[in-house]
Amino acid sequence: MLTDEKISIVEAVLFASGEPVSQKTLCELLDVDDHDMDKLVDILRERYLSISSSLEILKLDNSYQIAARREFAPHIKAVLEEKRNATLSQAAFEVLTIVAYNQPVTKSFIENVRGVDSSSVVNSLVEKGLLEEAGRIDVPGRPVAYRTTKGFLRAFQISDLSELPPISDRETQITLDEVLSEEESAAE
């Protein structure tokens, strides 16, 4: 494997991970020793510097991570805060309700309850830190299950899910027919 290809693999793995990746893992992946890995990372660092990239490679103990350079932190923070502080749509509230009362649940469960594709809403709520992955369900396809987070509890100012209001039982819910008959009676 050529050096440029190895450097590209290191860059792709670090970028896709979003978390520190151990030097050992990268060495095993590329079949190189620690010294050669340090050289590959140094070359990648030099490339970023030579093009004035907003990215840099950090060495954290025995791991590497790709990150934005510090001078871009205010810009990144502004965008992430804006995303986090954005108001929730009606669809987002529906998804949160479904998950909160039935967790852990899959996207397909949410979609069956809502009757519409909810993937983008679920992904948005994960980005906002209100939902998180809760493992995989042991059924064919092993779909990801979702649950609420501590951020959800903070946002709704409750200490645990037992503080959610109870779901009305069928007998205490009013039906559409009852609403219409009340409107007809009031009109007469």
Encode pLDDT of 34-87 as tens digits. 999 999 999 999 999 999 999 999 888 788 999 888 898 888 888 777 555 567
pTM of the model: 0.48
Section 124-151 average pLDDT: 90
What integer pLDDT is reported at residue 84 of this predicted model? 57
Q: How confident is the model at residue 137 (pLDDT cuts 50, 70, 90)?
A: confident
Q: Which domains does the chain have, with CATH numbers?
A: 3-71 (1.10.10.10), 90-164 (1.10.10.10)
Section 142-152 average pLDDT: 90
CA distance to 73, 135, 188, per residue, from 142 (Å): 37, 9, 57
* Residue among 77, 76, 69, 67 nearest 14 (CA): 67
Residue that wins the pLDDT comparison between 188 and 36: 36
Distance CA 98, CA 165 (A): 13
Q: How confident is the model at residue 179 (pLDDT cuts 50, 70, 90)?
A: low
Strands (E), the chain: 21-22, 55-60, 63-68, 105-106, 131-136, 144-148
Is pLDDT above 90 for 186?
no
Contact 11, 45 (CB under 8 A): no
Distance CA 143, CA 82 (A): 30
Contact 48, 57 (CB under 8 A): yes
- Lowest pLDDT segment from 16-20, 88-92, 157-161: 157-161
